[in-house]
Structures are given as C-alpha cells and as structure tokens.
Structure 1
C-alpha cells in the first residue's frame, strides 16, 4: 500500500485539498461564484428593465406616429375642404361678376337705345318741321302768313318734342 503510486497520489491530493482549505480557497471560490452569479442576475434584471423601457418607448412612438398620421389626415381633409370652399366661392364671385357685367352691358344697351330713339325722334321732328315749313311757305304768302308759319312751327315743335 505505501509502495503503490495511487496511494501516494491520493495522499498528495488530500494534502493539496487541506492546503487549499487552510488558505480559504473554497470560500474565496464560493464568494467569487456568488458575486458572479449576483452580477449576472443584476445584468439580467437590467436587461429586462431595458427591454421593458424599449417596449414602452416603442408603444409611445407608435401612438405618436398614429396620432401624427391622424393629424396629417385631418390637415389634408381640412385643406381639401378649404380648397373646395374657395373654388365654390370663386365660382360664385365669378358668376356674380358676370351677372353684374351683363346687367351693366344691358343697361348701357338700353341707354343707347333710348338715346338713339331720342336722336331719331329729334331728327324726325326736325325733318317734319322743315317739311311743314316748306309746305306752309309754299302755300301761304304774305306778312300774316309769315307770322302764322312761325307760330305753327313753334306749336308743332312743342308738341312733337
């Protein structure tokens, strides 16, 4: 037994374990393993917290994006409605402008017709007076005739106008 190599390896191993235990290596190894385990669990907790924060931020940004899309859609809808309203108002203003211009043109035409009618009437009166004067001068003669023609022409002129 004392001569076998296995026995002496076993004795050396026990002595080695004793020396390790004497210097507190097992407690140091256990403390080191415990601290590493604690550090790993802390890192996992931090990773879990960071993941939850990231998920929360993702939800917030998705909500903000959805709100921004709704707002953009409302802006587009409002702009479209405003453009349609402005187009309707422009068409109404244009129609009113055309109506006013047409009415003004019709009024000018009516005024021109009245003026032309008055000018034609005045020309007809002048022509009738001249014709009457020539007829009366040709048929009546003498000083009383001259006075009669003037008075008659004045009466005709007054009645025709």
Structure 2
C-alpha cells in the first residue's frame, strides 16, 4: 500500500486539495463572514432607523395632539371672547336705544309744551281780542276810563306782592 503509486497519487491529490481548498475555504469563510456582518450591521442600522422613525412619529403625534388641544383652547377662547363682545355690543346698543328713546321722549314732551304754550297764547290773544272787541262795542268813554284805572291798581298790587 505504501509502495503503490496510486496510493501516493491519492495522498498527493488529497494534500493538494486540502492545500488549495483550505485557503479558498478560509477566504470564502472570511468573505461570507464579512458579508454576514455587513448584513447584520444593515439590519441593526435599519432597526435603529425604524426605532428613530417610531420615536419621531410618536413625537409628531404628540405634537399634533398638543397642537389640536391648543387649537381647541384657542377656539374656545375665541368663542368666549365673541360672546363677551356680542353681549357688550348688545348692551351698548341697548344703552344707545334707551338714550335715543329718552331724547325722543324729551323732544316730544318739549314739543307738547311748546304746542300747549302756543295754543294758550293763541287762546289768550283770541280771548283778549274778543274781550277788547266786546268792550269797545259796549262801553262808553267813562266806563273805559274806570276799567283802565281799576286794571292799573290791580296790576300795581300784583307787582308789589
């Protein structure tokens, strides 16, 4: 067996295969290991990106909720301010209407007083004119003089008091 050349060819072939394939196997193992490590790194990086994205998404959702709450608060405050402004405007309008009503009432009362005074003056003038006309027709000169003297005395007594 040790003398047989086929045996030594087989041994040489095995040694050659081991000698040639061992570095190739190591080289393939190293290459595959580096590829595996690259893939692991890529997966780890993808997981990190995924986690960062989820954190960013949760932050954005929280901010969105905060903004939504702030919008609702602003909307509620705006409604309250609008109601306050409406009530103030309504109050001011009511005050203006009341003032105008008072002014209109005062003007009407003044116009009524003026009309009454004008009517009284007219009635007085008419009565005086009628009295003068009647007195002119019915009184003689002597009675007229007596009436004038009596009127002067009455007016004097009225002005003294």
TM-score normalised per structure 1: 0.77
Contact 1:20 1:26 in 2 (8 A): yes
Q: SS at the partner of 2:140? A: coil
> CA distance change for structure 1 residues 113 and 16 in 2, over 3 Å: closer, same or farther?
same
Residue in 2 that maps onto 1:136? 135
* Structure 2 alignment gaps of length 5 or more: none
- List aligned pairs for 1:9-158, cutoff 5 A: 12=13, 15-21=16-22, 24-142=23-141, 145=144, 148-149=147-148, 152=151
Work out the CA distance in 2 between the residues paired with 1:69 and 1:151. 98
Work out the CA distance in 2 between the residues paired with 1:138 and 1:128. 15
The one of the two structures with greater contact order (alpha-carbon pairs below 8 A, sep at least 6) is 1
* Structure 1 alignment gaps of length 5 or more: none
TM-score normalised per structure 2: 0.77
Root-mean-square deviation (CA, aligned residues, Å) is: 3.1
Aligned residues: 152
Contact 1:136 1:149 in 2 (8 A): no
Deviation at 1:137, TM superposition (A): 2.1
Work out the CA distance in 1 between the residues paired with 2:11 and 2:88. 107
